[in-house]
Amino acid sequence: MRYVPLGKSGLYVSEVSLGTMTFGRETPEEEAVAILFRYLDAGGNFIDTANVYSQGVSESILGRALRGKRDNIVLATKVFFRMGEGPYDGGASRKHILKAVFDSLKRLQTDYIDLYQIHCFDAFTPLEETFETLAYLVERGYIRYVGVSNYTGWQITKVVSLCEKYGFPRPISAQMQYSLVERNIEYEVIPACYDGGLSIMAWGPLGGGFLSGKYTPHTPPKEGRIAQAKKDWEEAWERRATEKNFQILETVRNLAEKYGKTIPQVALNWLLTRKDVIPILGVRTLAQLEDNLGCVGWRLAEEDVALLDAVSAPPEIYPYRFIQWAQGLVYREEFLPR
């Protein structure tokens, strides 16, 4: 397992993170603990959860399991989604964050959280309020680093500028949906992260299970995350079952045969070739984790990365295609720096 810096920080994390959204929901505690310990035995040190995962149960499972192991773990959790029915039981307000962080600390049985992330952009709370509150928590040692999740590119850039202006701790990561079947963050989010010094934590790296290889066209699944997803959810069958996505899947399948790997291992390895991207392994079973861990320790050849890039490329849209066209007119090859 390789270790990489998280954003512009001195925090080094394993090249793949363990996601725990299934803990206490699809995955009972005994198997969840077995998954956790296997990940740690493989050299992983970066564990991601959220207060909303199973309404706190995921955090509680981690709190019990990590006793005596805390100092060697980079523990990340999140705040935003509803934890109750009251007006202050969700969002990124000072009132909700201050309640939520201490609730998470109690469930996690720890004195501090390594990475505290705002789980989604809050359109109804001033950014100054949110990030001043996070700065307060960093100053007092309750959290060590700050991250964002499910933000647009302009929102990330605005947050970075705000933190620079007021001296707040800058976010070091953005947790975003990213996979071979969902590359839209490449338009704005990834450039904003590169500019602001944030790493990408990739949730849904297998497209909600689509890149497991078990799906076929015109046959909606009867079980699994995609089958359970509502039609408006990001990983719903209606979003995944496109002709292009099945072409991507077929290309991954062919490369898996070439390398003697599984389809998920190839799809995850493609993410490991991307700059500053850390896939989050969101597994339900120990067997799935064992398979996913096979994505590390090797690399796709450049020509195969290019093949996957081409088959999964997002559409060329304005103004990006216009900018690329215009650059070619103005900056001819003979004018470029040598």
Q: Into how many domains does the chain fold?
A: 1
Identify the band that residue 216 occupies on the pLDDT scale cut at 50, 70 and 90: confident
Q: How many CB atoms lie within 10 A of CB 269?
A: 24
Residue 293 has pLDDT above 70, yes or no: yes
Task: Please report the pLDDT score of residue 222 as a whole number.
Answer: 66
What's the whole-number mean pLDDT along residues 232-250? 83
Task: Please report the pLDDT score of residue 234 as a whole number.
Answer: 73
- CB–CB of 137/116 below 8 Å? yes
Q: How many CB atoms lie within 10 A of CB 52?
A: 20
Q: Which of 245, 233, 166, 175 is nearest to 203 (CA)?
A: 175
Task: Please report the pLDDT score of residue 313 as a whole number.
Answer: 97
Identify the band that residue 20 occupies on the pLDDT scale cut at 50, 70 and 90: very high
N- to C-terminal Cα distance for the chain?
37
Q: What single string gives the DSSP state of each residue in 136-152?
A: HHHHTTSEEEEEEES--
Going by the DSSP 8-state scheme, the letter that residue 246 receives in this structure is H
Task: Please report the pLDDT score of residue 181 as a whole number.
Answer: 96
Q: What single string gives the DSSP state of each residue in 70-126?
A: GGG-EEEEEE-S-SSSSTTSSSS-HHHHHHHHHHHHHHHT-S-EEEEEESS--TTS-
Active-site annotation, residues: 53
Least confident of 106-110, 211-215, 232-236, 270-274: 232-236
Residue 185 has pLDDT above 90, yes or no: yes
Residue 240 maps to which CATH number? 3.20.20.100
Nearest-angstrom CA–CA distance, 67 and 76: 16
Task: Please report the pLDDT score of residue 177 as a whole number.
Answer: 97
Q: Which of 7, 24, 29, 36 is nearest to 281 (CA)?
A: 36
Nearest-angstrom CA–CA distance, 198 and 275: 11
Nearest-angstrom CA–CA distance, 277 and 271: 7
Task: Please report the pLDDT score of residue 335 as a whole number.
Answer: 65
Query: Is pLDDT larger for residue 210 or for residue 292?
Result: 292
Task: Please report the pLDDT score of residue 329 as a whole number.
Answer: 83
What's the whole-number mean pLDDT along residues 236-259? 91
Question: Above pLDDT 90, what percent of the chain?
Answer: 85
Task: Please report the pLDDT score of residue 214 as a whole number.
Answer: 84
Question: Residue 238 CA to chain centroid, in angstroms?
Answer: 22
Least confident of 87-91, 225-229, 293-297, 311-315: 225-229
Task: Please report the pLDDT score of residue 334 as a whole number.
Answer: 67
For residue 125, what are the domain limits?
Answer: 3-335
Amino acid at 191: P
Task: Please report the pLDDT score of residue 133 as a whole number.
Answer: 98
Question: Above pLDDT 70, what percent of the chain?
Answer: 94
Nearest-angstrom CA–CA distance, 150 and 127: 15
pTM: 0.94
What's the whole-number mean pLDDT along residues 113-119? 98
Task: Please report the pLDDT score of residue 205 as a whole number.
Answer: 97
Residue 253 has pLDDT above 70, yes or no: yes
What's the whole-number mean pLDDT along residues 182-188? 97
